[in-house]
Amino acid sequence: MADTGKSCVVAVEPVLPEHVYEQEAITAAVGPLVASDPGRAALLRRLHAGSGVDHRHLVLPLEDYAALHSLGETNAIFVREGAALAERACRGALDSAGLGPQDVDHVFATSVTGVAAPSLDVLLAERLGLRSDVRRTPSFGLGCAGGAGGLARVHDHLLGRPDDVALLVSVELCSLTLQHGDDSAANMVASGLFGDGAAAVVVVGARHPLAQEGDDRRTTIVDTRSRLYPGTTDALGWEVRDTGFAIVLSAGLPDLLAAHLLADVKGLLADHDLTPADVPTWVVHAGGPRVIDAVRDTLDLSEDAVRESRASLACAGNLSSSSVLDVLARTLAHPGAPPGSPAVLMAFGPGVACELVLLRMGGR
């Protein structure tokens, strides 16, 4: 009999917009829009250079960002371009899984860089041709934790409906949140760190036929944990302005992780008679060099353990909720541990919130 306490990841599909630029080119174009004072402009250049980002994909041509000044303008672009990018990710994931849109029973859609009503999942239902009775869970506000949190909530759904197919889709167009004339440290860091992208994940319940094709073939979701850190609501998030979403970003986020993450990870693993030393694979949100460093050092990991997170950051920047799913796709494409071994996926977002997912790695 199938173990209905688990669900299986059968496909992960990250996608990036077509406009790709070296970090130096983005700095040269964006810098004057953000910082006019020579001293602040010099600081911006240093922050961009130290971001761990080599190049980023943008939803618009680089020269178009100078003309964007209002939330109405940027959100209209988010709805139009975000839906198209999410559709690409979903079609790719479904094709990889050998499934069609009519097979999808539940869609969980997450984003924090734009809003839509009807929500993104409704737009996708029309574009993809999903069934009219598809169950939907739209989410806004999980931020960078949305990929991990979305995977956890999809798992929760499938525990109660183990025959179902769920589709997790994340889309983030972070470049549209650039705030002109704001030379705060937070805006300067964000302008050099975040990129645009989307990702889709197909997950099936334990009784679905795709979950029965052999334990060495399917990456299994075993358990999840969510944690809110009290007194941190002003550390990470948005200030909504007429000019769009202005980032709230505390420099103390790595210190928060150093204070809390080890106990949270140990708590998740202990329920399965595991310790961090038993885990060979770590799927870490590419939140920035200091975030990756904090996870590595707090959990006493090797640099090799966060290799795919560094690679994702360098190639695309921090993709917010799509970031950890991009890292997951890279990890599954180049597994460094045997099938059946444990892995921990993690991401951090506004709250401050930590989302953890315990996986059992499959073979490819």
Active site residues: 144
> How far is 274 from 303, CA to CA, in rounded Å?
21
Reduced to 3 states (helix: H, G, I; strand: E, B; else coil), residue 265 is helix
Say how many C-beta atoms besides its own lie within 10 A of residue 38's C-beta. 8
Contact 82, 255 (CB under 8 A): no
Which has the closest alpha carbon to 345: 152, 168, 206? Answer: 152
Beta-carbon contacts of residue 241 (< 8 Å; ≥ 6 apart)? 71, 179
Q: Phi and psi dihedrals of 170, rounded to 5? A: -120, 135
Partners of 343 in beta bridges = 281, 359
Are 180 and 33 a contacting pair, CB within 8 Å?
A: yes
- Strand boundaries in the chain, DSSP class E: 7-15, 19-22, 55-58, 106-111, 135-140, 165-173, 196-205, 219-228, 236-241, 244-249, 281-284, 342-349, 353-360
Residue 46 contacts by C-beta under 8 Å, 6 or more apart in sequence?
none
CB 71 within 8 A of CB 81: no
